[in-house]
Structure 1
Amino acid sequence: MTNPGGGGRRPTIKDVAAAAGTSRGTVSRVLNGGHWVSPQARAAVESAIRSTGYRANPHARSLASGRSGSIAFLLTEQQHRLFEDPVFSLLLRGTTASASAVGLQMVMLLAQEDADKTRVVEYAAAGHVDGVMLISRHRGDTMLTDLLQQGVPTVTLGVPLDLEGQVSTASADDRVGGRRATEHLLHTGRRRIATITGPMDTPGGALRLAGYRDALGDDFDESLVAHGDYLVPSGRAGMTALLDRAEDIDGVFAHNDLMAIGAIEALHDRGRRVPDDVGVIGFDDSGLAEQSSPTLTTMRQPFDRLSAEMVRLLMEAIEGAPPATVMLPATLIERESA
């Protein structure tokens, strides 16, 4: 059935609702993502859309809803991090694809300094985007609070350590992942296992360290902990400092792949063989793990699923749903380094 209204006019939502046997509100909800619509009603609406030949007018829909049809990918790190850390590009690619699949345009925003953050909050609060995905946040940064106070629907990547339960969140299970990484080194016979953490004001830094401590229990040794910033040089510096304190280290859990690669470089500088003398494991499986020498054993974050969940949670937040948390498992990927 095509154009049930006749006269050559373009089919409307009213036509779709009549064909589906539902209300116009149900049709509108399906067109805007299908939230709070039963599977049966959604199937009926989708069938009616096909049979009537209905096509949404994005501009008219935007005017009617008061929405922009855009969402923001917000990174609050230094700009060079976008190009140096492949995690961010993987997430940008994944969230852009997920947004496109539901008819949303992705806008990328960078906010490094306080003035940048103020402008971004004002931009989002003015309605230029319908919601924000905050990709990297440090504890105490007020930007998330400012967005929420302005009523901007927001989703974070990683649990916000000081605002847990107040905002929707998608993350890999950092604590369990940190524990399993350390347990893998223990299972390969390592006994003096060190760690190189991410910044302790980030969820990855704090929770992966907690997982490392869980695995070691009473054998935890504070002197075997070095702190980094998720980039290669800090992994190299952290490993060098650890070897200066404890030459008998035989295992290292670095909180991401970049720092693990830096740690391997430092071990090679000291004449230590990987994995023969020291086993090394990273976190992310960002693509670099397969290119390192030796190839890197790591905990894989499910970036495609995380991207899709962030977009889904943000769409629900835009519709007024309460905060929700999605926690996905990190998976051990065994390669040559441990």
Structure 2
Amino acid sequence: MNASPPRSLRQVPGRPSPTLEDLALAAGVSRSTASRAINGGDRVSPEAQAAVDRAVVSLGYIPNRAARSLVTRRTSSIALVIPEPDVRVMMDPFFAVVITGITEALRETDVQLVLLMSRTDDDSARTLRYLRGGHVDGAIVVSHHKADSWARSLSETGLPTIFIGRPWDTAFDVTYVDTDNEGGGRIAARHLSGIGRRRLATVAGPADMTAAVDRLRGWQAGLREAGLPEGPVVHADFTTDGAAAAARRLLAEHPDIDGIFAASDLMALGVMEAIQAAGRSVPGDIALMGYDNHAVAETAATPLTTITQPMVEMAVKAGTMLLEEIEAPGSHPEPVIYSTELVERASTSVAPTASAAKA
């Protein structure tokens, strides 16, 4: 076998990249052996593998990924499916955090991330056709809704899939990464009742999303455990404007409220806006809590008490689990649930004002 490639084969500026034939010649092996060696195939002796590895380095050889995909049936790409309107994806920092986490999971690999946003029925059908067409090796789905059929549809394709957030129907062969949303809701109720607030309400998330439903369930259970009524509930989407509108209705119908739990930090910002517009203060008149512990919670005009949701860690885990599922089809990792914690800030730091206490 050749100890080093002929000088004429070495990659130099202005010359075409070395071919598989060049690699085989430099390694002193057949073309088929060189192909098996770079594609991780079997029936390659340790000596031949070592020779090909040396030739790859010395030539600066870059495999033809299109050709490799014909052998491995891999595309070296995964999809992130977000069943939400484009405008929400672009405006909500939650999705930027998810993308950051998944990208981190892929950092040491050659796998690329493909972003697919599909909210309408037509978009969903088109996205599903793309996923079924062999364009990606797996998919991560986040921010799904009850009417979405992603769990069933992707299970039927056999495409490795991980959900961020518990899917509505866990009977299908998909797994997920989530946070203890119900436990987080309980923590919120325990905290607000524990600081002396007694007339409590919540601006809950969409009733067609499992995270919102679980947070509301935990909140109501926590109020019962504290010996308090479940209190008023208004629903909004996970946006600042939607929560502000819902909070205005809530305050008009229940002016005696002295504590509010919002289902996300972005929603809490909208609630804070509505409270201030009504001539009331946070936390003097109304203690306010969010959920997520986004950066916006700490930088709000009145920094928000909130419940942690380790989204970067969850997204990294989802990406890692998907890569494992792709490498070992059918391994089907068990769901991973992250615990929640209270982060206390100024929005719940003082007792009710005298006027609020008499309301």
Shift of 1:6: 4.1
The answer on whether the counterparts of 1:190 and 1:251 sit within 8 Å (CA) in structure 2 is yes
Give the secondary-structure state (helix, strand or coil) at the position aligned to 1:101: coil
The answer on whether the counterparts of 2:164 and 2:315 sit within 8 Å (CA) in structure 1 is no
Distance 2:306 2:64 in 1: 43
Give the secondary-structure state (helix, strand or coil) at the position aligned to 1:68: coil
The answer on whether the counterparts of 1:132 and 1:152 sit within 8 Å (CA) in structure 2 is yes
Q: Which residue of 1 aligns with 2:342?
A: 332
AA at the equivalent of 2:124:
K
Q: Which residue of 2 aligns with 1:230?
A: 238
* 1:301 and 2:322 correspond: no
Render the CA deviation track for 1:290-309: whole Å, top value 9, x for unaligned: 22110111112112211111
The answer on whether the counterparts of 1:174 and 1:208 sit within 8 Å (CA) in structure 2 is yes
Aligned counterparts, 1:274-285, within 5 A: 274-285=282-293
Distance 2:54 2:180 in 1: 45
Give the secondary-structure state (helix, strand or coil) at the position aligned to 1:283: coil
The answer on whether the counterparts of 1:223 and 1:245 sit within 8 Å (CA) in structure 2 is no
Shift of 1:253: 0.7
The answer on whether the counterparts of 1:196 and 1:252 sit within 8 Å (CA) in structure 2 is yes
Shift of 1:134: 0.5
Distance 1:10 1:169 in 2: 45
Shift of 1:68: 0.2
Distance 1:335 1:165 in 2: 41
Distance 1:299 1:5 in 2: 63
Distance 2:341 2:296 in 1: 16
Corresponding residue to 1:138 among 140, 145, 160 = 145
The answer on whether the counterparts of 2:200 and 2:231 sit within 8 Å (CA) in structure 1 is no
Q: Which residue of 2 aligns with 1:100?
A: 107
Q: TM-score, normalised by structure 1?
A: 0.82
AA at the equivalent of 1:99:
L
Corresponding residue to 2:127 among 117, 120, 125 = 120
Corresponding residue to 1:65 among 60, 67, 72 = 72
Shift of 1:102: 2.7
Distance 2:255 2:177 in 1: 39
The answer on whether the counterparts of 1:197 and 1:228 sit within 8 Å (CA) in structure 2 is yes
Aligned length: 306
Segments of 5+ residues of structure 2 without an aligned counterpart are 6-25, 35-39, 45-49, 349-359
Corresponding residue to 1:243 among 237, 245, 251 = 251
The answer on whether the counterparts of 1:165 and 1:323 sit within 8 Å (CA) in structure 2 is no
Distance 1:72 1:292 in 2: 33
* 1:271 and 2:279 correspond: yes
Q: TM-score, normalised by structure 2?
A: 0.77
**Identity within the alignment, %:** 34
Distance 1:334 1:165 in 2: 38
AA at the equivalent of 2:95:
F
Give the secondary-structure state (helix, strand or coil) at the position aligned to 1:124: helix
Give the secondary-structure state (helix, strand or coil) at the position aligned to 1:217: helix
Does the C-alpha gap of structure 1 residues 210 and 165 become closer, same or farther in structure 2, counting only changes over 3 Å? farther
Render the CA deviation track for 1:187-219: whole Å, top value 9, x for unaligned: 211111111111111111100001101211165
The answer on whether the counterparts of 2:155 and 2:172 sit within 8 Å (CA) in structure 1 is no
Does the C-alpha gap of structure 1 residues 99 and 164 become closer, same or farther in structure 2, counting only changes over 3 Å? farther
The answer on whether the counterparts of 1:232 and 1:258 sit within 8 Å (CA) in structure 2 is yes
AA at the equivalent of 1:264:
M
Segments of 5+ residues of structure 1 without an aligned counterpart are 16-22, 28-47
AA at the equivalent of 1:103:
D
Give the secondary-structure state (helix, strand or coil) at the position aligned to 1:312: helix
Shift of 1:331: 2.5
Q: Which residue of 2 aligns with 1:310?
A: 318
Distance 1:5 1:326 in 2: 51
AA at the equivalent of 2:299:
Q
Q: Which residue of 1 aligns with 2:184?
A: 177
Render the CA deviation track for 1:18-69: whole Å, top value 9, x for unaligned: xxxxx977x9xxxxxxxxxxxxxxxxxxxx9xx9797784726533311100
Render the CA deviation track for 1:212-237: whole Å, top value 9, x for unaligned: 01211165645511101011122112
* 1:91 and 2:98 correspond: yes
Shift of 1:163: 2.6
The answer on whether the counterparts of 2:290 and 2:304 sit within 8 Å (CA) in structure 1 is yes
Root-mean-square deviation (CA, aligned residues, Å) is 2.8
Distance 1:266 1:241 in 2: 9
Q: Which residue of 1 aligns with 2:164?
A: 157
Give the secondary-structure state (helix, strand or coil) at the position aligned to 2:177: strand
Q: Which residue of 1 aligns with 2:118?
A: 111
The answer on whether the counterparts of 1:68 and 1:128 sit within 8 Å (CA) in structure 2 is yes
The answer on whether the counterparts of 1:213 and 1:220 sit within 8 Å (CA) in structure 2 is no
